[in-house]
Amino acid sequence: MPAAEDGGGSESLPRTAVDATEVGRIFREEFGRSVATLIRVFGDIDLAEDAVQDAFTVALDRWPRHGLPPNPGGWITTTARNTAIDRLRRSKRERELLGDAATVVTGSLYPVPPEDVGPVDDDRLRLIFTCCHPALASDAQIALTLRLLGGLSTGEVGRAFLVPEARMAKRLTRAKHKIRAARVPYRIPDDHELPDRLPPVLAVVYLIYNAGLDGRGASGLCGEAIRLARLLITLMPDEAEVTGLLALLLLIEARRSTRTAPSGSPVVLAEQDRSRWDRVQIEQGQALGRACLRRDRPGPYQLQAAIQAVHSDAATFEVTDWRQIVALYDQLLALAPTPVIALNRAIAVGEVEGPASALELVQTLEPELDAYHAFHAARADLLWRLGRSGEAAAAFKRAAALAPTAAEREFLRRGGRGRSAQ
Amino acid sequence: MPHYMLAAHSREGEAGQTMTDEDQQSAWERVSEVEAELKSAGAWVFSARLHDAGTATVVRVANGEVLMTDGPFAESKDHLAGFYLIEAPDLDAALAWGAKVTEAVGHPIEVRPFAGVAWEPGAGG
């Protein structure tokens, strides 16, 4: 299998020595870019994936012996492209040998444009919009994004979501089959389509982050989501909501280590050790938040980031600017009138006007949120603060029964916060 | 150019009952408009409407004998009521037509790619 030229005459140049781990790291970094380019060139996701994987095998063999090529990303893409052409020739030759020469490779497979296979950022933008196409189910969008853009192996994606590798492989195969059969286009949406097409992309990254945060997935998903959000900013620097998403993730990430006690039990905001919040991430998140709010195109992610920024600013829970938070929730609710946002707003109102007002607001959400553990937990907390301990205990019990993870169930069974069960 | 089916399903007992003559008339007008648009855009191939599922008969072979049963194949409340066969360059274009049709008829539209379309026997499609 032909590898890329290592750069004419560069044999004499000093090369950086690399070990297998470093090759793996570079590959993870470059995988999405190379796969995205090869999909555009060959019009075939599987072929692109396999060819880039083959290039990885070649790199594992060559790089530790010969050193890193001057442009590793370009080397991978070129090597993978050559491999893909080889594979296509082989399968064409096989068909000819089998007397099936009439079979014509259709679509964008031939002729292979020999020009520009260099890194083109736009290809990754095409890829993300294809992976997150609204015609694909959310779990398929997430799996495709982590596999193709994030460069995780099928097994890694499966493990991250506690799904057996075989089932994850099936999910990916089904999604890729639909993309091929239904012709999900490989293109960047026009500006007028973005209001419909951007939200699923942002939602995929946010869902990946939250799966890592709440224990439904591996904690490594948090870092993966932040990496994807950074990539989205590179690809779409003018979209305020993209910047808002990264700001939001960084501000939540800054507090992640204080959200859980060593025992694994959740720690509520009021009881978190604020001295352990990551100031660097908070500063980054706040700077990004300010930058996008200046564009005056507020959206749900920017507003949520702004709410998190207010929390990050407060030295203690008590001195939090709750009025500002309620005002931000009012704006958020106007843009995204969902019952979960209404619940969070009600909780913030409780800190301004007291638990009685909040409980009144929370009660109105019961028809929509009766199956949501956080609704019952919020209700329980307000009832407890109002001295209605019997009702609070019942509500905590209900919250515990609905909570998604064992740690949360245990925490709610004990009555939330540090207090003991009623 | 790929072909897609834009399929409309009807729910048993719901067919047109809630519609007044006037509603039906304006629905027809909206549908005709979309059809004209499909035609002038070169996306139109053909359309078909089916009688209600109660008119269907299923034929099958069991123990070497051909058996007939009254009624549709799928034991479901929802049945294919009609469809358009359209040509579209990709799924986005097909979905855009699907959106226009659903807005006109007020029913969900299933957009599904054809694996093959044959105009002659054995052409393979």
pLDDT digits (tens, 9 = 90+) for A313-366: 999 999 999 999 999 999 999 999 999 999 999 999 999 999 999 999 999 999
Give the pLDDT mean for A191-215: 93
Q: Is the pLDDT confidence value at A32 over 80?
A: yes
Mean pLDDT, chain A, as a whole number? 88
pLDDT of residue B15: 52
Tell me, yes or no, whether A400 lies in a domain. Answer: yes
Is residue A104 domain-shared with residue A124, that is, in the same domain? no
pLDDT of residue B124: 62
Is residue A313 domain-shared with residue A419, that is, in the same domain? no
Q: B13 or A99: which carries more pLDDT confidence?
A: B13
Tell me, yes or no, whether B106 lies in a domain. Answer: yes
Flag if A182 and B92 touch (Cβ within 8 Å). Answer: no
What CATH number does residue A74 fall under?
1.10.1740.10
pLDDT of residue A185: 94
Tell me, yes or no, whether B125 lies in a domain. Answer: no
pLDDT of residue B51: 93
Tally of domains in chain A: 4
Q: Could you tell me the pTM of the whole model?
A: 0.86
Tell me, yes or no, whether B18 lies in a domain. Answer: yes
Tell me the pLDDT tens digit for each residue of A41-85.
999 999 999 999 999 999 999 999 988 999 999 999 999 999 999
Give the pLDDT mean for A8-15: 48
Is residue A136 domain-shared with residue A218, that is, in the same domain? yes
Q: Is the pLDDT confidence value at A239 over 60?
A: yes
Taking one residue from A and the other from B, the number of pairs with CB-CB distance under 8 angstroms is: 20
Flag if A182 and B115 touch (Cβ within 8 Å). Answer: no
Residues above pLDDT 90, as percent of chain A: 72
Give the pLDDT mean for A199-207: 96
Tell me the pLDDT tens digit for each residue of A243-272.
999 999 999 999 999 999 988 888 999 999
Q: Is the pLDDT confidence value at A106 over 70?
A: no
Q: How far is A134 from chain B (nearest CA, A)?
A: 10
Q: Is the pLDDT confidence value at A10 over 50?
A: no
Is residue A226 domain-shared with residue A133, that is, in the same domain? yes
Flag if A181 and B92 touch (Cβ within 8 Å). Answer: no
Tell me, yes or no, whether A247 lies in a domain. Answer: no
Tally of domains in chain B: 1
Q: A246 or A416: which carries more pLDDT confidence?
A: A246
Grade residue A12 by pLDDT with cuts at 50, 70 and 90: very low
Is residue A211 domain-shared with residue A279, that is, in the same domain? no
Q: How far is A90 from chain B (nearest CA, A)?
A: 26
Tell me, yes or no, whether B47 lies in a domain. Answer: yes
Q: How far is B113 from chain A (nearest CA, A)?
A: 5
Is residue A303 domain-shared with residue A351, that is, in the same domain? no
- Tell whether A183 is within 8 A of chain B (Cβ): yes
Q: Is the pLDDT confidence value at A111 over 60?
A: no
Tell me, yes or no, whether A245 lies in a domain. Answer: no
Q: What range defines the domain where residue B60 resides?
A: 3-113
Tell me, yes or no, whether B89 lies in a domain. Answer: yes
Is residue A227 domain-shared with residue A126, that is, in the same domain? yes
Give the pLDDT mean for A282-294: 93
Q: Is the pLDDT confidence value at A275 over 60?
A: yes
Residues above pLDDT 70, as percent of chain A: 89
pLDDT of residue B96: 96
Is residue A380 domain-shared with residue A324, that is, in the same domain? no
Q: Is the pLDDT confidence value at A105 over 50?
A: no
Is residue A419 domain-shared with residue A369, that is, in the same domain? yes
What CATH number does residue A361 fall under?
1.25.40
Q: What range defines the domain where residue A421 resides?
A: 339-422
What CATH number does residue B57 fall under?
3.30.70.1060
Interface confidence (ipTM) of the complex? 0.88
Tell me, yes or no, whether B124 lies in a domain. Answer: no
Is residue A127 domain-shared with residue A186, that is, in the same domain? yes
Q: How far is B92 from chain A (nearest CA, A)?
A: 7
pLDDT-flagged residues of chain B (< 70): 13-18, 123-125
Give the pLDDT mean for A161-181: 95
pLDDT of residue A104: 37
pLDDT of residue A15: 60
Tell me the pLDDT tens digit for each residue of A125-167.
999 999 999 999 999 999 999 999 999 999 999 988 889 999 9
Is residue A363 domain-shared with residue A421, that is, in the same domain? yes
- Tell whether A104 is within 8 A of chain B (Cβ): no
Q: B61 or A216: which carries more pLDDT confidence?
A: B61
Pick the residue from chain A with its C-alpha nearest to B96.
Answer: A193
The strand pairing partners of B85, in sequence order, are B5, B46
Tell me, yes or no, whether B119 lies in a domain. Answer: no
Grade residue A34 by pLDDT with cuts at 50, 70 and 90: very high
Flag if B90 and A135 touch (Cβ within 8 Å). Answer: no
pLDDT of residue A420: 43
pLDDT of residue B107: 85
Tell me, yes or no, whether A413 lies in a domain. Answer: yes
Grade residue A31 by pLDDT with cuts at 50, 70 and 90: very high
Q: Among A109, A133, A160, which residue terminates a domain?
A: A109
- Tell whether A182 is within 8 A of chain B (Cβ): yes
Is residue A320 domain-shared with residue A371, that is, in the same domain? no
pLDDT of residue B17: 56
